[in-house]
Amino acid sequence: MKPMLDIRQLTKRYGGLLATDHVSLSLAPGELHAIIGPNGAGKTTLIGQLGGEVVPGSGSIEFDGQDITTLLPAQRALRGLARSYQITSVFPEFSVLENVALAMQAHRGHSFGFWTPMLKQAELVEPALRAIEQAGLSHRAGAMVSELAHGERRQLELAMVLVAEPKLLLLDEPMAGMSHQESGNVVRLLQGLKGRYTMLLVEHDMDAVFALADRISVLVYGRIIASGTPQEIRSNEEVKIAYLGDEALPL
């Protein structure tokens, strides 16, 4: 099966620091692949390279059969690569539905229709409602964003990405700052999306990672030291050593 994402020998150096050290990785269509590693391992740099915010020093990124190494973030998004939980255009004074409909409008490149109420435009509202349902927020579609809890706002940000029907989701620490209950809600949500989207998850919550991932890669000092199933990663001695004094791996 042709990979949805194929990373080859990706590097990024900041002075004497090699933030990503010849990283190679591939994701099959529909796979949920997690990247874990101690603080300072290079996870943020890697996600930045994949999203287009960080220019690689060398190496290549192939997405859906096309080389995207030099493409800008907006160009990658138009091809179906979406970085979730990094949305900045959330309007607190608007409702959940209005925010997602605006995201749909922006994705389609429509100008704002001042003479037609946005929520009267079925081509915006219908996909927005589907994305809100996928994100588990149907019961809050009419709520103002300013009223949402932290976890619900993260769900809204996911809906604003899903409305564009991406081929690949880059999930950059989606559980950050969440309560245990909120994290559990997001885990169940992502389990429901598995198989429908290819997903690359970077997350510190090890319980969530081991509950969700088909495969896990461990990044340490910019280098992948192990890749495998959750059970293979649990039993890997090099991984256990890398995590001593940091997050404990669930047994």
Residues 59 and 100 in one domain: no
Regarding whether 251 and 229 lie in a shared domain, the answer is yes
Work out the percent of the chain whose per-residue pLDDT is above 70: 91
- The pLDDT tens digits of the residues spanning 193-202 come to 999 999 999 9
Q: pTM of the entire structure?
A: 0.90
Q: Which of 44-48, 81-85, 158-162 has the lowest mean pLDDT?
A: 81-85
Mean pLDDT of 89-117: 78
| 24 and 96 co-located in one domain | no
The residue from 165, 195, 219 where one domain ends is 165
Same domain, 139 and 118: yes
Looking at the fold, whether 153 and 177 belong to one and the same domain comes out as: no
pLDDT attached to residue 90:
79
Note whether 5 and 67 are within 8 A (CB).
no
- Domain C-terminal end among 134, 165, 196: 165
Amino acid at 8: R
The CA distances from residue 94 to 115, 142, 145, 147, 168, in Å, are: 18, 9, 6, 10, 28
Could you tell me if 95 and 209 lie in one domain?
A: no
The count of other CB atoms within 10 Å of the CB of residue 17 is 12
**Is residue 84 pLDDT above 90, yes or no?**
no
Give, rounded to a whole angstrom, the gap between the first and last alpha carbons of the chain.
32
- CA 196, chain centre distance (Å): 14
Q: Does one domain contain both 21 and 144?
A: no
How far apart are the C-alpha atoms of 89 and 181, rounded to whole Å? 26
- Provide the residue range defining the domain that includes 89: 84-165
Q: CATH code at 30?
A: 3.40.50.300
Residues 76 and 172 in one domain: yes
pLDDT digits over 154-191, tens only?
899 999 999 999 999 999 998 888 899 999 999 999 99
Examine the domain organization and report whether 75 and 174 are in the same domain.
Answer: yes
Q: What is the pLDDT of residue 115?
A: 46
Asked whether residue 179 falls in the same domain as residue 60, the answer is yes
Number of domains in the chain: 2
My answer on whether 136 and 76 are in the same domain is no
